[in-house]
Amino acid sequence: MHVDTLSCQEDYTYRNLFKILRVRFQHERFDGTLSPEVERCVFERGNSVGVLLYDAEEEVVFLTKQFRYPTYLHHGPGWLIEIVAGMQDKGRDAITVAHSELFEEIGYQVAELLPLCTCYLSPGASSEQITLYLAELCHAERAGQGGGLDTEHEDIQLLRLRLSEALSMIQQGEICDAKTIIALQQLYLLQREHMGGAVRQL
């Protein structure tokens, strides 16, 4: 379907970390006509990457816990349980970022990454896409302490949870981060489909 972008201007930029665009456009409607002129704001900060590390033999997932101020701002939990994740800086591919974040946050190096999916996180307001990967512990080694980067003021705790426990925590609202929920449910579906075989053998 057709889209006409009539204008696109930067309304705000912050330290090269993100920018807000104000766009005017028209788009083809489902009945074949052209929509009226529409104005929207778009939040741009680049794309991101997430990795779920999994021990297939023990059925244990490796997650992180850290403080996220935006979730605390409106009386939320503050400390979130998440998969390893980070922003994909310009010039760095998703695989490279995934390996880097695994080492920085939980101290692991892996040989293989299985792509799970790429999805939009908030398509009504942001262009950001996240690419999710699965990594198996049998192809990993602990090569560092993890815990995040001091230069980024990170304080990250490593959590080892049984997959069944992590899935229950989703139902109970204890795990409420979207990328983590998606990755855990993707792993559960893969496990069900292949009845506990090593995921890398798919």
Q: Which residues are annotated binding-site positions for Mg(2+)?
A: 85, 101, 105, 154
Report the half-sphere exposure of 137 (CA within 13 A, side-chain side).
14
The residue among 8, 99, 87 whose CA lies nearest residue 49 is 87
47 in helix, strand or coil?
strand
Binding residues: 85, 101, 105, 154
* 173 vs 177: CA distance, rounded Å: 9
Q: Which 8-state DSSP code applies to residue 150? A: G
Q: Which residue type occupies 10?
A: E
Query: Parallel, antiparallel, or unpaired for β 60-67 and 140-142?
Result: unpaired
Gyration radius (Cα) of the chain, Å: 19
H or E element, residue 63: strand 60-67
